[in-house]
C-alpha cells in the first residue's frame, strides 16, 4: 500500500479513537499493524481499543508487542498492567505498572493501578502509599481518593475512611463505586438510612450492579427484612451467578435459616474456580464457609475454614505495644492517683457504657436495654476512643493520652465531656439513657470517670474459651489483630482481665457485672437487675427484646432478633481438639 494510504489509515484510526469508536479503532489498527509491524504506536492503539472492547487477551498481546518493539514505552506498560489487573493477574500487573513508572514516574493512573493490585493481594500499606502518590500527581483523581477510603475501611478505620470516600464523591458526583463503598463503610458505624439511600442512588444509575444489589440485601438483612433480602438475591443465585458479594449475602441468609448447608456448595465451588479472588474475597469466603459448616454441625470443616480465613489476615499483633499501653493506663489511673485526678463538672447520667471483650454479649445487653422506651441504643460509638486519641492535639498538651490526663483542668474536661454529650444528643435528644456499647472502652474507664462522674458502667463477661473462640470465628477488621491467632487471643484476654481487675479496685463509678451465661439461663432476673441499675422502672418490652425493631450494626445483628438460645454456651466444646494453643495462653502468665 502506498505511504499515503498508510497515513490515511493512521488518521482514521486516530479519529475513531478520539470519538470513542473502539470497534472502528480496532479494525483500522489491525490493518495498520499488518502493514507496519514495527509501529509501536499502532500496536499500543490496538491494545487500547481491544481493552475498551473487553477483548483482554487481544489487548494483552498488542501491548506486549508494543513493548517488545519499544521497551521504554511507559503508556504501553501501564496499559498492559491495567489489562492484567482486570484479569486478576495482580502480581503481573504490579510488574508492568512499575515498569511504566520507571520510564515515566508521573503517570498517576499507574500509581492507582499499583495501589489496586496491592489491595487485591492484601498489602494495605503499599496500596495506601500508591493511592497517595497518585493524588500527589493528580489531586482530583477520584478513584485514588476512593482507594484510600476503601483501604482505611478494610483496616478498621471507618471514620477516616468516610471522609475520603465523601471527598471522592465531591470530585466525581454520582460515582457509583464511591456510593457503594460509602454505604458499606457507614453500615458498621450505625448509619443504615444513609447507606440505604446511597445504594438506591447506585441502583438508579445501574439497576444490575452486583455490588449494589448484594449490599442492598445485606442492609435488608441487618434491618430484619429477610424476605426482601431473599427476593433481591434468589433470582441471581438460581441463575448461577458466582459473584462473590452475591454469594456472601446469600450465605448470610442461609446461615440464619433452617438450611445453612444450602449455600455451602456454591461457596466451595467459587473458592476453586475462575476468575481469581482477591485476598479479601478469599478470606470472606472462608469465614462464611466456617459459619455455614458450624451451623451444619460439621465442626472440623468449620474450624479448617476459620483457620484459613484468619491466616489470610496478613497482620501482626504487637503484644509488646499492648502491654506498654496496659501498664501506662494502670500507672496513670493508679489507686493512689484516682482520688486526686480532676473530674469534669458535668453531672449527666445519660451515658451508660457497656464494655467487655468483643463477642461477650454486649449486643444482647444493649438490645434488652434499648427495648425500654426511655433508653436509646447507640451501638458501638467511637467517641471515647477519639477523645483519647486527640486530647493532646485538642488541648495542646505536651504529652499524649493517658500521660496528660492528670494535668487537665476541670474546665478542659468539661470541653471534652460536652463534645461527647453533643454527639449523643444528636443521636437521641430525649432518651433518659443512651447506651454506648463499644466493648473496647474497657481500656478507658478511668477517662470515662474523669469525664462523666455520674455515668454507669455495665461489664459484660462470658466464658473465656467461648469469648476467644467467637472472636477467632469473627471476620474482624484489622483493628483486632489479636483475634487472628489463638495464642494471641489468649494473651490479649489475660491483659483484658488484668485491666478489668484494676478498674474494680480503683473506680468509684457504679459498675454492674453481667455474666452472659446467667443472662441466658435467668433472663428475667438479670434483665430486671440491669434496668434497675440504670435507674429505670421495669418495662415488659425488655422481656420481648427480640421483637424490638432497630438496626443492629454489629456481628450479632441476627442473634438479638431471636429469643435467647443456649447453643452459644459452652460452644468451645465442639472445637476442643483444636484449642490447645488457646488453653496454654490463657493459663500462662
- Reported as a single tens digit per residue, the pLDDT across 20-45 is 999 999 999 999 999 999 999 999 99
Domain boundary assignment for the chain = 216-314, 319-548
In CATH terms, the superfamily for domain 319-548 is P-loop containing nucleotide triphosphate hydrolases (3.40.50.300)
For 489-512, the pLDDT digits (tens) are 999 999 999 999 999 999 999 999
445: pLDDT strictly greater than 70: yes
Residue 256 has a pLDDT of: 84
User: Residue 179: what pLDDT?
Assistant: 98
In sequence order, the 6+-apart residues with CB closer than 8 A to the CB of 58 are: 46, 50
pLDDT, one tens digit per residue, over 89-124 is 999 999 999 999 999 999 999 999 999 999 999 999
How many C-beta atoms lie closer than 10 Å to residue 327's C-beta? 12
Q: What pairs with residue 456 in β-bridges? A: 352
> Is the pLDDT reported for residue 67 higher than 70?
yes
> Helices 210-222 and 192-205, interaxial angle, to 10°?
150
CATH class in words for 216-314: mainly alpha
Place of cell 481493552: 51
Question: Which of 227, 218, 266 has the alpha carbon at shortest distance from 244?
Answer: 266
Distance CA 557, CA 190 (A): 12
pLDDT of residue 8: 92
**Interatomic CA distance for residues 195 and 189, integer angstroms:** 10
pLDDT in tens, 527-584: 999 999 999 999 999 988 877 665 655 555 555 555 666 778 899 999 999 999 999 9
Q: What is the pLDDT of residue 72?
A: 97
For position 4, what pLDDT does the model report?
47
Residues present in the chain in total: 589
What is the CB neighbour count within 10 angstroms for residue 118?
24
The values of phi and psi at residue 566, to 5°, are: -100, 0
Query: Which of residues 47 and 480 earns the better pLDDT score?
Result: 47
CB atoms inside a 10 Å sphere around CB 340: 7
Mean pLDDT of the chain: 93
Q: What's the pLDDT score for residue 554?
A: 53
pTM, full prediction: 0.85
Amino acid at each position: 500500500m502506498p505511504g499515503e494510504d498508510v497515513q490515511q489509515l493512521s488518521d482514521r484510526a486516530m479519529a475513531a479513537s478520539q470519538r470513542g469508536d473502539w470497534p472502528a479503532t480496532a479494525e483500522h489498527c489491525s490493518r495498520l499493524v499488518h502493514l507496519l509491524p514495527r509501529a509501536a504506536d499502532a500496536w499500543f492503539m490496538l491494545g487500547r481499543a481491544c481493552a475498551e472492547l473487553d477483548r483482554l487477551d487481544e489487548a494483552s498481546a498488542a501491548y506486549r508487542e508494543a513493548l517488545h518493539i519499544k521497551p521504554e514505552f511507559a503508556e504501553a506498560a501501564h496499559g498492559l498492567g491495567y489489562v492484567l489487573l482486570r484479569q486478576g493477574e495482580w502480581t503481573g500487573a504490579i510488574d508492568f505498572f512499575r515498569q511504566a513508572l520507571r520510564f515515566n514516574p508521573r503517570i498517576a493512573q499507574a500509581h492507582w493501578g499499583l495501589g489496586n493490585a496491592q489491595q487485591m493481594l492484601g498489602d494495605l500499606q503499599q496500596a495506601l502509599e500508591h493511592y497517595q502518590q497518585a493524588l500527589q500527581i493528580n489531586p482530583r483523581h477520584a478513584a485514588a481518593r476512593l482507594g484510600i477510603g476503601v483501604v482505611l475501611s478494610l483496616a478498621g478505620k471507618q471514620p477516616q475512611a468516610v471522609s475520603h470516600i465523601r471527598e471522592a464523591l465531591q470530585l466525581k458526583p454520582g460515582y457509583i463505586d464511591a456510593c457503594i463503598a460509602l454505604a458499606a463503610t457507614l453500615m458498621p458505624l450505625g448509619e443504615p438510612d444513609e447507606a440505604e439511600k446511597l445504594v438506591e442512588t447506585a441502583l438508579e444509575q445501574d439497576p444490575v450492579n452486583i455490588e449494589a444489589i448484594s449490599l442492598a440485601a445485606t442492609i435488608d438483612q441487618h434491618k430484619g427484612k429477610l424476605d426482601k433480602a431473599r427476593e433481591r438475591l434468589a433470582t441471581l443465585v438460581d441463575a448461577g451467578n458466582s459473584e462473590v458479594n452475591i454469594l456472601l449475602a446469600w450465605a448470610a441468609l442461609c446461615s440464619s435459616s433452617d438450611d445453612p448447608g444450602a449455600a455451602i456448595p456454591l461457596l466451595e465451588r467459587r473458592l476453586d474456580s475462575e476468575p481469581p479472588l482477591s485476598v479479601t474475597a478469599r478470606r470472606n469466603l472462608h469465614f462464611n464457609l466456617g459459619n455455614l459448616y458450624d451451623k451444619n454441625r460439621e465442626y472440623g470443616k468449620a474450624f479448617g475454614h476459620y483457620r484459613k480465613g484468619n491466616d489470610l489476615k496478613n497482620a501482626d499483633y504487637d503484644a509488646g505495644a499492648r502491654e506498654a499501653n496496659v501498664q501506662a493506663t494502670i500507672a496513670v489511673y493508679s489507686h493512689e492517683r484516682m482520688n486526686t485526678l480532676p473530674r469534669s463538672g458535668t453531672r449527666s447520667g445519660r451515658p451508660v457504657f457497656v464494655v467487655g471483650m468483643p463477642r461477650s454479649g454486649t449486643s444482647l445487653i444493649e438490645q434488652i436495654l434499648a427495648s425500654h422506651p426511655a433508653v436509646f441504643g447507640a451501638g458501638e460509638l467511637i467517641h471515647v476512643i477519639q477523645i483519647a486519641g486527640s486530647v493532646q492535639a485538642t488541648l495542646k498538651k505536651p504529652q499524649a493520652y493517658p500521660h496528660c490526663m492528670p494535668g487537665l483542668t476541670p474546665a478542659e474536661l468539661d470541653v471534652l465531656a460536652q463534645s461527647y454529650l453533643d454527639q449523643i444528643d444528636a443521636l437521641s435528644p430525649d432518651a433518659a439513657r443512651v447506651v454506648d456499647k463499644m466493648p473496647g472502652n474497657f481500656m478507658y474507664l478511668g477517662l470515662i470517670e474523669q469525664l462523666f462522674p455520674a455515668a454507669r458502667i455495665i461489664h459484660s463477661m462470658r466464658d473465656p474459651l467461648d469469648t476467644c473462640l467467637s472472636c477467632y470465628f469473627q471476620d474482624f477488621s484489622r483493628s483486632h489483630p489479636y483475634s487472628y491467632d489463638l495464642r494471641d487471643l489468649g494473651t490479649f484476654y489475660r491483659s483484658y482481665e488484668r485491666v478489668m481487675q484494676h478498674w474494680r479496685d480503683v473506680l468509684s463509678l457504679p459498675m454492674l457485672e453481667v455474666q452472659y451465661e446467667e443472662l441466658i439461663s435467668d433472663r428475667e432476673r438479670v434483665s430486671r437487675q440491669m434496668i434497675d441499675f440504670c435507674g429505670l422502672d421495669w418495662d415488659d418490652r425488655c422481656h420481648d427484646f427480640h421483637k424490638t425493631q432497630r438496626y443492629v450494626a454489629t456481628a450479632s445483628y441476627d442473634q438479638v432478633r431471636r429469643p435467647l438460645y443456649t447453643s452459644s454456651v459452652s460452644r468451645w466444646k465442639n472445637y476442643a481438639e483444636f484449642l490447645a494453643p488457646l488453653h496454654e495462653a490463657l493459663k500462662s502468665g
